[in-house]
Amino acid sequence: MRRTVIRCAMGLLFFVLAIALVSFCIVYVQGTRRPDGVPQYVALGSSYASGPGLKPHSAGSPLLCGRSDANYAHLLARQRGLALVDVTCAGSTTEHVLHGGQYFQAAQISAVTAQTRLVTITIGGNDVFYLGNLTALSCGEVPSKLEIVARMCRPVADKAVALGFARLAKNLRLISADVHRRAPSARLLFINYLTVLPTAGSCERLRLSGADADRMRAVAIKLIETTKQAASASGAQVIDVAKLSQRHDVCSADPWLNGRHPTAILAAPLHPNPEGMQAVANAIDQALR
């Protein structure tokens, strides 16, 4: 009996290790694959640019990046007939844009070449734990013995957020300088984040207390200002979709983002829905005219 149990345990262990090895190989192969195509238009950024949960998934892109053919970059490229190289990835920070290392991927900015004429980027939320803290604070008082769940529901301290803002301001300027160095003729557009929170209060779709909503509104405002200042200092342009979407927050009658608990299967909580992505693409298209 004991030998049977040991054999079963060893078999299960080998099975788990095999799954882990296969998963690692998939992530490695996908991450080290170089993007195809002429980089006339290069899209950089994190999940608000990549479009996790939006169908269809962008063929050949890393699964963990949540890169969609329905994100604003793909929509804009089709509208304007641009050759797109999309290297956006959910969870990315400015460090990943500048130096790479996310899921074995090269620096996102390395996709920009002398052929590039347009660069868009939505970045910074992960540098200052914006979406992470929104998610953590919306957990409420739900206890969990699972450490991974407990961590997701534990907000990052304000001191770490402040340090993140300091790094963000510096890195946004470095990104601008590197884009202009790699592609002197390119137009660089910073696309800020769609507005998640209403101007006051909270709602059931957010699952935030009034105090926590106020705390995160202050972070969102500072993120907007930090991006604007970096763009102004480097001659880049900001497409202010945060302002554009003020009446389309999560609590509105016509939201451009999913709620904390989306009704659609696999939809990403507190991330742009199809209407939000199309609105961003239209705003960029209008600015390019």
Residue 73: CATH number of its domain? 3.40.50.1110
Domain of 219 in residue numbering reads as 37-288
Domains identified in the chain, total number: 2
The pLDDT score that the predictor gives to residue 28 is 44
Higher pLDDT, 25 or 41: 41
**pLDDT for 215 beyond 70:** yes
Q: Determine the Cα–Cα distance for residues 184 and 104; give it in Å rounded to an integer.
A: 28
pLDDT-wise least confident of 7-21, 50-64, 70-84, 132-146: 7-21
Q: Are residues 77 and 161 in the same domain?
A: yes
Q: Are residues 8 and 64 in the same domain?
A: no
**pLDDT for 50 beyond 70:** yes
Q: Are residues 71 and 145 in the same domain?
A: yes
pLDDT-wise least confident of 75-79, 184-188, 262-266: 262-266
The pLDDT score that the predictor gives to residue 16 is 43
Q: Are residues 71 and 136 in the same domain?
A: yes
Q: Amino acid letter at 175?
A: I
Mean pLDDT value across the chain = 88
pTM for the model stands at 0.86
Q: Are residues 10 and 120 in the same domain?
A: no
Degrees to nearest 5, angle at CA 200 with 194 and 203: 80
CA torsion through residues 56, 238, 282, 243, sign:
positive
Q: Are residues 98 and 223 in the same domain?
A: yes
Q: Are residues 136 and 6 in the same domain?
A: no
Average pLDDT for residues 94-110, to the nearest whole number? 92
Q: Are residues 183 and 221 in the same domain?
A: yes
Percent of the chain with pLDDT strictly greater than 90: 74
Q: Are residues 12 and 113 in the same domain?
A: no
**pLDDT for 217 beyond 70:** yes
> If we measure between CA atoms, which residue out of 56, 75, 74 comes closest to residue 66?
56
Confidence of residue 101 (pLDDT cuts 50, 70, 90): confident
Q: Are residues 18 and 46 in the same domain?
A: no
Average pLDDT for residues 1-15, to the nearest whole number? 54
Average pLDDT for residues 31-53, to the nearest whole number? 84
> If we measure between CA atoms, which residue out of 53, 40, 50, 37 comes closest to residue 87?
50
263 burial via Cβ count (<10 Å: 0-12, 13-18, 19+): exposed
Q: Are residues 1 and 92 in the same domain?
A: no
The pLDDT score that the predictor gives to residue 221 is 98
Q: Are residues 148 and 226 in the same domain?
A: yes
